[in-house]
Structure 1
Amino acid sequence: MRTFDYLRADTVAAAGAEAAQPETRLLAGGTTLLDLMKLNVERPARIVDITRIAGLDGIAVSANAIRIGALAKMSKVADHSDIKAAAPALSESLWRAASAQLRNMASIGGNLMQRTRCMYFRDPGAYPNCNKRTPGSGCAALNGVNRNHAVLGTSEACIAIYPGDFAVALVAFDAKVIVQGATERSIPVDEFFLLPGQTPHLETRLAPGEMIVGVEVPRSAALQRSHYLKVRDRTSYEFAAASAAVGIEMEPDGKTIREVRIAVGGIATKPWRLRAVEAALKGKTLDEATLRAAAASTVDGAKSSGHNAFKIDLAPKVVARALMTAGGIA
């Protein structure tokens, strides 16, 4: 690990000013940053501790929206009674994401900013060729062991998945990331994360000197009737082989789908919204055959790199199962 200077910021403005400096990283829970520093993937010269900034750990649930501060702990948000009632998928995506110890440390803002678990990215000593870590060096995963890599949103430069769960639920329900630099602005979560293209080292739309201060999720009937399903190699504390955040709003007849929201994780380079599947289900009868038929297009355009071909078969089944659970017909 590189030797670094440690600073502490008491305001968002001070943190932003420090973050604009070269080779500087912000520290909240540290559950991702410190790991990457130990691996020599992240090598900042300066660390700015933002945990003392007041007012960034609140949770507010109003009639129209849910607002969560960037420094709110994952465990606090997952256990919040109003969020459990108004947005089950948000709570589920958080408590399924990590161990209790990590959830007690990790912040919501840090969770969104976590970086890929691609083993080639995380081992610079053994694998110097990683475009996400060293632009232009190549992608070792393309011809390597790529079982846990993406089949959607990939490029010839990178096939690493986005590993998080919470962001998948946020994308499904049109949430916005609130960021602050010289001014405050909001970015739809679906636009906040970038596709790798030829610049996989650029992962979000955060500008130099900006930091996440919160997320805002509009309340809806679909969010209230939502579910987050995570399929993985073991039943706890593992990253998703495929996951789905879904929500359903029904017509008064109780049989016809009025509105549906779907996003998937574990299979793409960013949280992946399934708008075509949503459109195919609106106005349709809620039954297993209809859901499975629509879910088949989950992986339209998917590209296998070899070992990860199973995700193309798995993902539509995960989406259909999540929809059946949310719809009460599982």
Structure 2
Amino acid sequence: MMRLLVTGGAGFIGSNFVHYVVDHTDHHVTVLDKLTYAGNLASLEGLPDDRVAFVRGDVADATLVDGLVGSVDAVVHYAAESHNDNSLHDPSPFLQTNIVGTFALLEAVRKHGTRLHHISTDEVYGDLELDDPARFTEDTPYNPSSPYSSTKAGSDLLVRAWVRSFGVAATISNCSNNYGPYQHVEKFIPRQITNVLRGVRPKLYGEGRNVRDWIHADDHSSAVLTILEKGRIGETYLIGADGEKDNKTVVELILHLMGRPADDYDHVTDRAGHDLRYAIDSTKLRDELGWLPRYGDFERGLAATVDWYREHEDWWAPAKDATEAFYAELGQ
């Protein structure tokens, strides 16, 4: 049994990890979350009070973070501003949370000798051409293209520097695009699912040729737990489930799963600086640590996700109208 601090644990990927830990281990979890628009206490409902504690606060609050880190065995650092569109509109929160927040956490784990696992994204590597057979590996040079991905790249480099300079016991994982329960309706897949549930045609950026490598949040969670328990200190592991799909295919599959014609969607203005393709090679994680995804079939994982949103309108409905109003202003 370990005592874990999970930063950003009321967000999408963080809350899925907390649920996964409770379901598959005896660990105790303290969640630290600022509860910005992307954090939602409802995502933690139903978890046992004797296993999960919640602290509302900012990961950039060095005094608060120091106190929390001093009382746990390990930290899993999910807290981040993570939406590309928002980073183009106002980059400042991304610098504060992703850079300053990670710095505060690194100083705390350095002081207390606490194990750290840092969650990052494949977007730090930039993008690949659509016809390029290559995939990102742990050796791919960083080439971020947005305020979001550049601040995540910066946070990764801070972690690497603290490992080398101060001997911090840290690992890093860069994951491909997640989908699953508790994802904010601003994101691509839940936005399209909830549009269909409301009788609104889904929206597709440009021609929908951009490719993402999709992984179910449960598989991300199992990979992170595996790295936390068995990963080599100082190493980076890429997490992916071989789920490459272009956005057009994803929208059409959502419509198919929900009983609508495959062409029942609208094209909208493409996003500025929209990366073409992400693709993850997770060979190192699989060969060294023996990890495998549960949802190797993207359609099966997507069907389970559609069912979750259909059954949890009370969770996503409060944020839906404001999200669509924001996108309407952007012509998207």
TM-score normalised over the length of structure 1: 0.27
TM-score normalised over the length of structure 2: 0.27
